[in-house]
Chain A
Amino acid sequence: MKKINFIILIALLVTASSCVTSLQPLVSYNTVIADNRLEGAWEQDDQQYIVQKVFNSDLYKKHKEDLEKSRKENNGQLSEKDKRDSVLYSKSYLIKYSKDGIQYVLLGSMIKLNGRLFMNFTPADMTEIDTSNAEMEINLSNRLDSYTIARVQFTNSNIMKLDFIDGGYLYDQIKAGHMKIKNETDELYDTFLITASTTELQQFLEKYGSDSRFFNKEKSVTLNRKS
Chain B
Amino acid sequence: MKKKYWELNHPVLRILQHLAFWVLSFFVFLYIFKTGAKPEKVDYVYTLLFQLSLVPAVYINIELLLSKLGNRKQILFYLFSLAAIIIFFAWINYNFFDNWSAKVFPDYFFISYFTFREIILFFVVYIIITMLLKLSKSWFLVSWLQKELLEKEKEKTEVELKALKAQINPHFFFNTLNSIYSMALDKDERLPGTVLQLSDLMRYFLYESKDNFVPLEKELVVADNYIALQKIRSGEQLSIEVIKQGEVNGQKIAPLLLITFLENAFKHGAKGSSGNTFIKLDIKVEKNKLNFMVENNKGLIDEVNTDDHNGLGLENVKRQLELLYPGKHLLNIKDQPDRFVVSLQINL
Contact = CB atoms under 8 A, between A and B. Distances in A.
B9 to A, nearest CB: 40
Contacts of A208: 102, 109
- Residue of B42, B111, B112 with most chain A CB atoms under a 10 A cut-off: B111
Given A207-B99, A208-B102, A178 B41 contact: yes
Given A200-B113, A203-B111, A203-B112, A181 B98 contact: no
A203 B46 CA distance: 16
5 contacts: A178-B41, A179-B42, A179-B108, A180-B111, A182-B35
B111 A204 contact: yes
B111 A173 contact: no
B40 A177 contact: yes
B222 to A, nearest CB: 86
Nearest to A210: B102
B108 A178 contact: yes
A204 B98 CA distance: 8
B111 A176 contact: no
Contacts, number: 45
Contact of A180 (B46, B98, B99, B107): B46
Interface in B13-60: 35-36, 40-43, 46
Given A207-B98, A207-B102, A208-B102, A178 B112 contact: no
A45 interface: no
Interface in B58-101: 98-99
Contacts of A177: 40-43
Nearest to A179: B109
A178 B107 contact: yes
Nearest to B43: A180
Given A180-B46, A211-B102, A200 B40 contact: no
B340 interface: no
Nearest to B101: A207
A206 B98 CA distance: 9
A207 B99 CA distance: 6
Interface in A191-218: 200, 203-204, 206-208, 211
A180 B109 contact: yes
